[in-house]
Amino acid sequence: MFKVRYSYLPQQFADPEPIFQELRRLVPTGDFTLGKPVAEFERRFADMIGVKHAIGVGSGTDALKLPLRALGIGHGDEVITAANTFIATVGAIAETGATPVLVDCDPDTFCMDVSKVEAAITPRTKAIMPVQITGEVVEMPALMAIAEKHGLPVVEDSCQGIFSECDGKRSGTWGAAGGFSLHPLKNLNVWGDAGVIVTNDDEMDRKLRLLRNHGMRNRDEIEILGHNSRLDSVQAVVGNWLIGQTHDITEKRIATGAYYDAGLCDIDGIRVPNRPANHKRVFHLYMVFAEDRDALYQYCLDQGVEAKVHYPIPLYQQDGLKHLGYAPGTFPVTDRHAADVISFPVDQHVEKWQLDYVIDTVRGFYAKR
């Protein structure tokens, strides 16, 4: 039995009755696709992030794919993104028909190393997709300057980064659009797959609303070839019930991250990443660098700490992405991270005694070496 579990969903939804009551109110309305709960959630999400438009879609992956499609990106085009990301980023790019072009990550933030972006730009490059991985942020002003210089639109993968900021500006609001995931294990979550796109651009908003609903201008007219990727009304009900907690959840995660940093930073064998002062990170994941990582990981599991590794095999070395043609060693920082990083539970339900237990366990491991 784990003393410190990774998944907090049983605690978060220990009392589902209030949500069931909301769902009971939904059923008699028959408002199951793009009705009132979806419109309400979109308005609240846009207000919360501080953008003009929020468009609810079927998944975080679609929240990345549809903006690329709205920008006209497809076969023969290239989209630059981070080597160190979750497969969904690369998958979303590939689903448009475009080729994902990877850039290595920063040694501390885990995010795209902006100084390596320009070398990846070719005449076929049509967009840049920075990833706010772990809830850290890309150095966005520098990235935006490169994007503007080359006339490239930016679509942010903010799926792990809700409420994160760079220079006081929120993730998702920098470029043409930003995509968020409401997957059960994201900081703002629902009871299945869902995603949200934010944009300040009226035309982008219009295209995204067409693209998520079969390209239908109205019941009878199809303006463009689209997709079926609507935010489910049932999930919008869950989202409306939870969205008001986003601020508190974020603050709790940030406080927990700071507590881990303070407890782990003096352990010989652990390196806490430098945390740039102009970034507000929201700790979707809490990750540090560990010597002898695999042994520490196993020791943690044995001691009842459900640690994780995000991610043990870099994407470019995965069988499913061999066709991208990257040779082993192309992304040395990403490779090093795959060997060094370890993640500890950082959710809003983890308690202080559990954080102390994790810290003591890690300390105990290195004391024994």
Ligand X SMILES: *Cc1c(COP(=O)(O)O)cnc(C)c1O
3-state secondary structure at position 5: coil
Nearest distance in Å: CB 352, ligand X: 27
Under the binding rule (CB under 6 A), the answer on residue 96 touching ligand X is no
Identity of the residue, 181 or 354, whose beta carbon is nearer to ligand X in the bound complex: 181
Under the binding rule (CB under 6 A), the answer on residue 249 touching ligand X is no
Identity of the residue, 233 or 303, whose beta carbon is nearer to ligand X in the bound complex: 233
- Looking at residue 30, its amino acid is G
Nearest distance in Å: CB 92, ligand X: 7
Given a contact cutoff of 8 angstroms between Cβ atoms, the answer to whether 159 and 63 are in contact is yes
3-state secondary structure at position 252: helix
Under the binding rule (CB under 6 A), the answer on residue 153 touching ligand X is no
Nearest distance in Å: CB 174, ligand X: 16
Q: Which of 81, 85, 250, 334 binds ligand X (CB under 6 A)?
A: 85
Q: Looking only at residues 163 through 182 of this chain, which bind ligand X when binding is defined by CB under 6 A?
A: 181
Identity of the residue, 135 or 263, whose beta carbon is nearer to ligand X in the bound complex: 135
Residue with tokens 């969904």: 88
36-66: burial string, b at 16+ Cβ within 10 Å, e else:
ebbeebbebbbebbebebbbbbbbbbbbbbb
DSSP 120-140: G--TTEEEEE-B-GGG----H
Q: Which of 96, 99, 109, 160 binds ligand X (CB under 6 A)?
A: 160
Residue with tokens 């160190």: 84
Q: Which stretch binds ligand X (CB under 6 A): 15-23, 80-88, 266-274, 313-321?
A: 80-88
Nearest distance in Å: CB 61, ligand X: 3
Q: How is residue 343 written in tokens?
A: 């993640």
Other beta carbons within 10 Å of 198: 30
Nearest distance in Å: CB 48, ligand X: 18
Nearest distance in Å: CB 315, ligand X: 11
Nearest-CA neighbor of 255 among 292, 217, 281? 281
Binding residue count for ligand X, defined by CB under 6 A: 15
Q: Which of 81, 84, 89, 256 binds ligand X (CB under 6 A)?
A: 89
Under the binding rule (CB under 6 A), the answer on residue 135 touching ligand X is no
Under the binding rule (CB under 6 A), the answer on residue 157 touching ligand X is yes
Under the binding rule (CB under 6 A), the answer on residue 212 touching ligand X is no
**Ranges assigned E (strand) in 111-238:** 125-129, 155-157, 165-166, 169-170, 177-181, 195-199
Nearest-CA neighbor of 282 among 34, 111, 121? 111
Identity of the residue, 263 or 314, whose beta carbon is nearer to ligand X in the bound complex: 314
Rounded Cα gap, residues 242 and 196, in angstroms = 15
Rounded Cα gap, residues 183 and 187, in angstroms = 9
Identity of the residue, 88 or 362, whose beta carbon is nearer to ligand X in the bound complex: 88
Q: Which of 60, 178, 239, 257 binds ligand X (CB under 6 A)?
A: 60
Under the binding rule (CB under 6 A), the answer on residue 88 touching ligand X is yes
Identity of the residue, 132 or 303, whose beta carbon is nearer to ligand X in the bound complex: 132
Under the binding rule (CB under 6 A), the answer on residue 229 touching ligand X is no
User: Cα separations (Å) of 333 from 79, 84, 104, 106, 341?
Assistant: 21, 9, 6, 7, 11
Q: Which of 65, 183, 230, 281 binds ligand X (CB under 6 A)?
A: 183
- For 156, phi then psi, to 5°, come to -85, 135
Under the binding rule (CB under 6 A), the answer on residue 61 touching ligand X is yes
Under the binding rule (CB under 6 A), the answer on residue 134 touching ligand X is no
Residues that bind ligand X (CB under 6 A): 59-61, 85-86, 88-89, 131, 133, 157, 159-160, 181, 183, 195
